[in-house]
Amino acid sequence: MDSLVEGIGCLTGIDPWKRERMRRLCANRHGPPIALTPRRAVALAKANGGAVGCWASRVAPELPAMARAAGVDLWLMEDGFIRSFGLGVALVQPCSIVIDRRGIHYDPSRPSDLESLLENRSFPVATLARAERLIAEICRLGVTKYNLSGARLDLPAGRRVVLALGQVENDLSVVRGGGGLSIAQFVARVRREEPDAFIVFKPHPDVLFGMREGLREADVDLVATDADLPSLMDRADAVHTLTSLAGFEALLRGREVVVHGRPFYAGWGLTRDLLPCPRRSRRLTLAELVAGVLIEYPLYCLPDGGGRCSVEDLVGALGARQQGWTPGIRDHALGSAALVLRRMKAAVGGRKNAAIADL
């Protein structure tokens, strides 16, 4: 990943509130310049002898053609899989990113660096042992993507419990990897697949508090609006997902995972897949999957503006926070509006920063 970082000549499509964090993640000292227009991004990348690094959901329609015409590579960026201590929609800074030269991990319509890595890499024994230790530590500390707190639910004993994971309806992983299903259609299919189970639906926190569009209620046995996700996964006999990252987190915890879409962790022999993933022919162990997904693919940094770090360092830092006060989903929702206004004001002031090349 370090070689990729060194190959970026310019960043673009980066929201103002996370520009400084992206620059830090992409360099040990001074990060690449940030351009506000596709034309300027391509020109700066070409002048610097590198690629344009663009946030995957913010690629301007004209950018790919401009980059090709100039002979400049276009690499896509996205949050990593252990992201932060709080929600991105509340403008909590990411502690990990991925940079992909081929595509992006959530879009199965074309290969990505992650898919190629998992299909072709032979992981050393030491890396696999490291992955095993990492799995154990993530589970021990209860670390997830956002590390939100919640209540522990009393679920019925002696009955099969199935967790159905809600998502944001227009999230690109759902749009591109969901096999054409809406979240409501997904939940209905879970009921058809598990007619006798006690089904718990966990809405996405962004949706639950009106930050993004999606399903808040469902025809299930229980809607877990403010539940602790790790304890839910530990209690579930099976986890059903469309493309949610929590399906990967459930694999780490030894759950049966039924996949209705085509997320990056499907097709490797570890999940029950309801859609084929024809490019993925290799059968992986869980340690091999984790070695690719959490050790080899992302970049990490410590919270609160800290420098680059290993995945183990980040897991330890997030786990330490879990031992003290952990803001719950409602805390994030109530505080998000004020946080947005405060940080957007700071970002406007930061527009004078010379790191942003907007000419």
Distance CA(58)–CA(56), nearest Å, equals: 6
Q: What is the pLDDT of residues 291-331, one digit of tens each?
A: 999 999 999 998 876 678 999 999 999 988 776 644 444 44
- What crossing angle do the helices spanning 38-47 and 63-70 adopt, rounded to 10°? 30
**130 in Cβ contact with 291 (< 8 Å):** yes
Query: What token pair was written down for 181?
Result: 């299903």
Q: Find all residues with CB under 8 Å of 37, minimum gap 6, and list them.
A: 12, 358
Question: Between vectors from CA 204 to CA 327 and to CA 226, what angle results, nearest 5°?
Answer: 45
What is the H or E stretch that residue 208 is in? Answer: helix 205-208
Average pLDDT, the chain: 86
The conformation of residue 202, written as its DSSP 8-state character, comes to E
**SS3 (DSSP) at 249:** helix
pLDDT band at 228 (very low <50, low <70, confident <90, very high): confident
Confidence check: pLDDT of 344 > 60: no
Model pLDDT, residue 224: 87
Which string of DSSP letters, residue by residue, matches 49-86? TSEEEEEGGG--TTHHHHHHHHT--EEEEEE-SS--SS
- Say what the pTM is: 0.88
What is the H or E stretch that residue 114 is in? Answer: helix 113-120
Q: Which domains does the chain have, with CATH numbers?
A: 2-79+328-357 (no CATH), 142-281 (3.40.50)
